[in-house]
Structure 1
Amino acid sequence: MPILLPVLTCNYEGGGLNKATLRYRFDGLQNTLSRAPKRPALILFCEAKNYGAAGNTGLYQAAEAITDVLGTPYAALLGRGDRGPITPAIFYDPGLLLPRFWIDRGEVDPYPDQVNICRFAVLDADARTRPELIAAVDHFPGDHPQARVKAAARLHRWAKDRTPVIVGGDLNEQPSGEHYPPWNPEPCTPLVRRRKARHVGGAWVHSSDALDSLVGTWNPVTGVRDDGIGFHLLSELAWIASGHTMRIQPTVIDKPGEVPLTIDHLLVNDALLPHVIPTSFRTLVAPSGTQEGSDHIAVYAELRM
């Protein structure tokens, strides 16, 4: 019998660490998770700040907070990163998923395309035919488009893997396509332009090279993507399933001098595509006045394995 696997990705700013008190607060994360239509089997998490310190205290506090709000035990895997202490993490329901492969933080010199990649067993009734799901969590660099292109290349090998693969995280970039929130880099601050745009022919243009290297470049004439390597955006699949009527929402909070963009994403490879429920996709926007404790908005979707 197929198993429903809800998946959520969120960037919880600074992991909930209060800089003044050096203590963690998870009420904003709990508010976000409480809005998920169904209890996530898998949470692809960015900015697990200092979660590995003092015996993984932050990691286990976060897992406990998630357990408290969702009402079932969650296990945790702490990832690795090269951009300081804001590493990715994965939280999962061990009643539905069990890891078969995960590069431990202590493993020396792993292959880059194996880091922050978990191969899960999906716990269906028959152990002899138990399917697998590969989950990748990533937080692309925010400082320069070319740095994101390099980060995206690490995921290329998984696009055509025969095992279903889901990728989630703050990818710090919006893909090409007029169905995503429009933006003009010119009115933005110089710093935002340097981080999110390219200077071409004397003008600043939206940079989408990293995301497009995974999903293909949007062709406005044909209305499809060209040169895709095998990944698909769940937000776009939902837009297509809606008959092109759904508005794809930004996933960052509006700030002065910036333009809200859709930069937090869930992607699936060809092998996972038949298992996606496109109409389940949601951007979990907070009600007015709700304190989220983060400048990003979580996104959610469901798989049937």
Structure 2
Amino acid sequence: MGTARVFTRPTRHHVAVLARRMTLPIELGIVHQLFGQAREGACPEGEPLYEVVTCALRPGKVRTDGDFTVDVAHGPEALAQADTVIVMSSYDDYEQRDPRLAEPLAGAFARIRPGTRVASICTGAFVLAAAGLLDGRVATTHWRYTDRFARLFPRVTVDPDVLYTDGGDVLTSAGCASGIDLCLHMIRRDFGMAVANDVARRTVVPPHREGGQAQYIRHPLPEPSSPSTSAARGWALERLGEPLTLGQLAAREAMSVRNFTRRFHDEVGTTPMTWLTQQRIERARELLEESELPVEQVAEQVGLGTAANLRRHFHQTLGTSPSVYRTAFRGPGTEV
């Protein structure tokens, strides 16, 4: 006898959310809210693009870190039918001492079909690593637990600074709120920037946060009069097509280049010029999705100069070319 269908809409992208004992309700809400808001045509009246179900190792009540439980109707059979599996964090992860995947999680993960995209929020990365899915890859988790994670899983390269990592079929995110960034990123990958931006607007969150989680690690508080770099960032975003320099950015805040760079890194989590390149790539993605401009003109408008330079940065950042990206999100016959 076959397994009964958990998902009811065969044409939609199926997301199975794995909740475990002492799960964080905020993470469940993030996944259901963001994927649930994604609509065809990036409009509220469009057809939903995802179907999301919550599952547990056993159907029934699952304890949360609040004073209530979550009644989960589905068991691990949902994992076998999903296009994307997202593993929530659990307080059990913080105390993990054995790098092997314990039962019944091992049995649940054995149900996941080859080629299924698997992602984690916060310390859910411990589960992915224990399952061997992160061996030889770059991953992240909450900054408080990156050192423990690295000791427990030496085959995984830990990046403690980023909000999420994308290894193609395996993705990880940092603290629970970075699940927002991860979900928006996956929506952007699946259906394009217009859909992801529409979800962000209707959920009242930024479509893309700057920097990484390094900016949230506890640092000595700056003096109240310490200058910020926000004005320089706003100024740069209005002039992405111009050949901006580090000296120009520092001058906008009346700082030396050295002080500006240090302050920028404290606030954003990366260097000024790396951030500037990231913003140019994001703008290039918008133009490739929403305009008919040739790649050469896209490169000029975002300040990357030539099509060859745009292709190089695009491949380094996204692992693909501008023309392939445009075709993927706008359909065949759109390469220009």
The structure whose residues are more often strand, as a share, is: 1
TM-score, normalising length from structure 2? 0.31
Larger radius of gyration: 2
Larger RCO, structure (CA 8 Å, separation 6 or more): 1
After TM superposition, the score normalised by the length of structure 1 is 0.33
Point out the structure with the larger helix share. 2
